[in-house]
Structure 1
Amino acid sequence: MRWTLKPVPPLEKVNHLANKLSVDSNLAKLLVQRGIETFEQARCFFRPSLSNLHDPFLMQDMEKAVKRIEEAVSNNENILIFGDYDVDGTTAVSLLFTYLKSFYPNVATYIPDRYAEGYGVSFQGIDFAEDNNFSLIIALDCGIKAIDKVNYAKEKGVDFIICDHHRPGKTLPNAIAVLDPKREDCNYPYDELCGCGVGFKLIQALASKHNQTIDDLMSYLDLVAIAIAADIVPMTGENRILAYYGLKQINSSPRNGIRAMTHQLKKKTLTITDVVFVIAPRINAAGRMKHGNYAVELLTEENIDKANTMAAGIEVFNNDRRDLDKLITEEALKQIEENKETKNFSSVVYQKNWHKGVIGIVASRLTETYYRPTLVFTKSGDKLAASARSVNGFDVYNALEACSEYIEQFGGHKYAAGLTLLEENYQKFKDKFEQVVKNSIPKELLLPEIKIDLEIELSAITPKFYRILQQFAPFGPQNMRPTFVSKNVKDTGYSRKVGADEDHLKLSIISEDGTKFNGIGFNLGNKHPQISNGKPFDIVYTIDENTWNNNTTLQLNIKDLKVTE
């Protein structure tokens, strides 16, 4: 693994902030690294405020969107809320549906079938709208490239409002309004919202016309926080404010669907990590294993008994998803090994029977294993569909763009994308993608990287230091949990391998000044021989708490270690 220590910020800025906040220099360094240099910036960081959310009408086309929705309400039109089948899409649909339904009855939801319709706005969905007398479709987390679909709807007398956060193409769809902060002509101050975040800005704008304030919208923030966490958008600016208050909502009075999914957890307070690893996979499992509608029904269910029954069903989907994920990952790894492609610059695999609902997860697993830009293909109707995942620092969207001659359709982000192509173009695409990656990826990006915030002494880790560190949460991209390096520590003699297969390493270490700490290194059991001979070594870690026999202590979560040269 590559250890990359972030640059130490200028001393004068660190000292100035440390004095203003009365904190030690290590905490001040962490803050300056995050762009926080003044008392006011620190106040906004440590005390996120809903008053710092931007005016939704700063977003291009927001006025048009609100006007068209109000028109639909006053004319008694039927409104269809359309969204993608993943977490961001289903939470966005649930959010807008619940809000509109609170004052207007003629609203329904539509989630495309992952297998029959594929990603995004579908002709089938538009036909459904026409057949059922819907004159307005509001598309969430999709639609920015649906030019032909929006034109098709227009011919049928169905209007579109698009709320998306993906990168637009050269031409925007001919919709009534296109809300996307990534539009080149959009001057909205924050362009890293997720799809559900854009949906929230729409209800914020609608609420202002109904004399409602942000306080009236608190009950919707649980959904926004889940989408922010699941879609891996930067945990900065508005996202951090929305996630902060969304977590408060999840922990104080979540909607029934979320309560039903989390009631089995024994934790008093859920964190963003719990959202990512407990709530998000279960919402996703519905769209992967059955239908995204199931997730929307759960997230909008008002009866707790029904919500509990539905959550039990989702638990079954999630367990099935886990089994499939494991099986297909094993088959994909075997395919790479058998084809002698472990030295390639990319990993591209295909099996026609692989379940389309889990190929994204499998792509992530392969990326973790080989640390290469990865695509996993399966058969989808008369075409092949793939999920793409990338390594830190490499733009897979741009790489796909360079191979567009062989692609039917694609979309996504820098690190995750989806595409379809004709089966006869699979090998040509695979060869071209490998060539593009080989020619453009810096070699160092093919080694996993641990970004280290600071080098500190173990003696700097105190309960007060940890308490303030916890206030850096919620964590996420661009505001990750701080990672530290400490050098020349030694095993006390009590470190040992643990776990059923002795895969993990339970550490007991001492620093040069005599400070002792315990730590846990998951999947580092094979490093025990390197440290048990009394030689000094360096550790990279985050800090967390460990509770044992009702006794809570600080422990180090070891990410990697290296014997000192």
Structure 2
Amino acid sequence: MRWISKPLPNNDVVNSLSKSLGIDRVLAQLLALRGINTFDEAKSFFRPNLAELHNPFLMKGMEQAVQRIFTAIENNENIMVYGDYDVDGTTAVALMSTYLLTLYPNVVTYIPDRYAEGYGISYQGIDFADDNEITLIIALDCGIKAIDKVAYAKEKNIDFIICDHHRPGDTVPDAVAVLDPKQVDCHYPYDELSGCGVGFKLIQAIAETLEHPFETLIPYLDLLAVSIAADIVPMDGENRILAYHGLKLINSNPRPGIKAILEQVQKTELTITDVVFIIAPRINAAGRMKQGIHAVELLTEQNISLAKKFASEIDQYNADRKELDKKITDEALQQIRENNEEQNSTSVVFCETWHKGVIGIVASRLIENYYRPTLVFTKSGDKLAASARSVKGFDVYNALEACAEHIEQFGGHKYAAGLTLLPENYHAFKNAFEKVVKETLTEEQKTPEISIDAEVDLSYLTPKFYRILSQFAPFGPANMKPVFKATALRDNGYGKRIGKVEHEDDLPEHLRLNIIYGADDKTYNAIGFGMGHQLDEIQQAETFEAAFTLEENNWNGFTSLQLMLKDVKC
């Protein structure tokens, strides 16, 4: 593991922030590293304000989109709200459909089948619209590259409004309106919204046109917080404002579907991390294991008893998904070992019976074991389909492009992609991909990296320090939880391995330490997940260094600060 310390910010800015905010220099340094240079910027950061959201009509196409929806309502047209089967897509469909139904009854939802229809807008979905006399489709979290599909719909007198956040190609579909802040000629001030976020800007524009107060939109912010957390979009600008207030809603008055999930896991107060690891996987599991429309039903249900029933079904999908991805991961790891590929530059594995809905998760799991670009293939019809995942700094999309002669179709971005190829091309592709990666993967990219925000004296880490630090939340890309480094640490001899074991001979995989620091021998509690194997080395070392984040530990009514270890060096 490489430790990389972030460059120190401007000293005058740190001093100014420390003085004007009445906080210590470490906290001021953390703010400056996030591009916060003044008292007013810090005030905005610590108190995200819905009044600071941008005017939705600054987005290209917004006027046309709003007008087309009003025309549909006036003409009593049938409207379809269409979205992708992942968390961002299903939350977006839930948001848009429930809002429109407060204005007008002729609204239906549609989520494509992951296996029969694939990603994005499908011909089957358009045919369904045609069969049901639907004349307007609002597509969310997809559609920016669906040029042929939108043209097909137009032939059937079906209009499209596209609300997407993916990068467009050279041309965009011939829709009534295309809302995508990543369009080159769109001058909307913030271009990192989630798909659900773009949908929210559309309902904000409708509400403003109707002169409805903004407060009528607050009940939709829980869906937005889930989409922002799950889609790993930057946690800055409008995303941070929306996620902050959405999380407050989840913790105070969530919609029945989210409340039903929380009751299942017996959680009362959620962080954005909890949203990522508790709510998002359950919503995703519907599309992975069955149908994404089940997630929309859960998120739109108003009856709490029915919501609990839907949540119970989705929880079972998630349990099945977890069991399946563990089984497939074990099989994939065994395949790598049996093929003597531990020393390869890539992991490329295939089994025709692996479930297509979990191969992306399995690819991420394999990277935890072998830190290198990874593809997991399964059979899909008469072709092979794969999910690709990459490591920090390495562009897997470019690597796939270099192997394009062996591929039928591929798409994605730097760190995640999908592709299909003919079975007879699998081995040629696998060899070509290994060759490309071996030639282009740098030594640095072969090792996981920890980015250190600040080196601290552990005596800094007081309850007051943590109270201010916790106001940096919600965390996510562009505002990650700060990682600290501390040196000259000692183990007090009571450290131990913890965690459940499957077999009697296994050793627990996690680590609990009582760290001694400073002349007064004050101890600090620390937990290291997956770090149990380092216990002996730590206890034999005279001193060690640690990279960690800071959390509060509540146990038996007693609250204390706890170091969450990311790595140690002896």
Is the counterpart of residue 516 in structure 1 residue 523 in structure 2? yes
Pick aligned residue for 1:507 from 506, 513, 518: 513
Equivalents in 2 of 1:353, 1:560: separation in Å?
A: 37
> 2:234 touches 2:479 (CA, 8 Å); kept in 1?
yes
Question: Counterparts in 2 of 1:156-235, with a 5 A limit?
Answer: 156-235=156-235
Higher mean displacement: 74-83 or 257-266: 257-266
Amino acid at match of 2:461: I
Name the TM-score, length of structure 2 as normaliser: 0.96
1:318 maps to what in 2? 318
Residue 459 (structure 1) shift: 0.6
1:111 maps to what in 2? 111
Question: Counterparts in 2 of 1:364-375, with a 5 A limit?
Answer: 364-375=364-375
Amino acid at match of 2:517: S
> 1:62 touches 1:205 (CA, 8 Å); kept in 2?
yes
1:246 maps to what in 2? 246
1:60 maps to what in 2? 60
Pick aligned residue for 2:533 from 526, 530, 536: 526
2:415 maps to what in 1? 415
Higher mean displacement: 532-541 or 476-485: 532-541
> 2:226 touches 2:275 (CA, 8 Å); kept in 1?
yes
1:539 maps to what in 2? 546
* Structure 2 gaps, min length 5: 501-506
1:271-295: CA deviation from partner (whole Å, max 9, x where unpaired): 1111111100100111111100100
Residue 149 (structure 1) shift: 1.0
Higher mean displacement: 372-381 or 319-328: 372-381
Amino acid at match of 2:302: E
Equivalents in 1 of 2:401, 2:154: separation in Å?
A: 29
1:34 maps to what in 2? 34
Equivalents in 2 of 1:86, 1:335: separation in Å?
A: 29
SS, match of residue 341 in structure 1: coil
Equivalents in 1 of 2:395, 2:194: separation in Å?
A: 18
Residue 153 (structure 1) shift: 1.0
Higher mean displacement: 554-563 or 437-446: 437-446
SS, match of residue 265 in structure 2: coil
Amino acid at match of 1:275: V
1:49-80: CA deviation from partner (whole Å, max 9, x where unpaired): 01111111111111111111111111111111
1:307 maps to what in 2? 307
> 1:167 touches 1:412 (CA, 8 Å); kept in 2?
no
2:334 maps to what in 1? 334
- The 1:152–1:408 alpha-carbon spacing in structure 2 relative to 1, beyond 3 Å, is farther
Residue 202 (structure 1) shift: 1.0
Amino acid at match of 2:513: L
- The 1:344–1:183 alpha-carbon spacing in structure 2 relative to 1, beyond 3 Å, is farther
> 2:262 touches 2:268 (CA, 8 Å); kept in 1?
no
Amino acid at match of 1:513: A
Question: Counterparts in 2 of 1:116-515, with a 5 A limit?
Answer: 116-500=116-500, 501-514=507-520, 515=522
Amino acid at match of 1:457: D
Pick aligned residue for 1:552 from 559, 565, 570: 559
Residue 534 (structure 1) shift: 5.1
Equivalents in 2 of 1:405, 1:171: separation in Å?
A: 24
1:177-201: CA deviation from partner (whole Å, max 9, x where unpaired): 1111111111111111111111111
1:137-164: CA deviation from partner (whole Å, max 9, x where unpaired): 1111111111111111111111111111
SS, match of residue 154 in structure 2: helix
1:395-454: CA deviation from partner (whole Å, max 9, x where unpaired): 323333333344333333332222223333333333333333333333211211111111
* Structure 1 gaps, min length 5: none
Equivalents in 2 of 1:158, 1:419: separation in Å?
A: 30
Amino acid at match of 1:326: K
Name the TM-score, length of structure 1 as normaliser: 0.97
* RMSD between aligned residues: 1.4
SS, match of residue 178 in structure 1: strand
Equivalents in 2 of 1:525, 1:132: separation in Å?
A: 59
Equivalents in 1 of 2:183, 2:468: separation in Å?
A: 38
SS, match of residue 264 in structure 2: coil
> 1:166 touches 1:413 (CA, 8 Å); kept in 2?
no
Equivalents in 2 of 1:141, 1:425: separation in Å?
A: 32
Equivalents in 2 of 1:465, 1:523: separation in Å?
A: 27
SS, match of residue 532 in structure 1: helix
Amino acid at match of 2:510: H
> 1:167 touches 1:413 (CA, 8 Å); kept in 2?
no
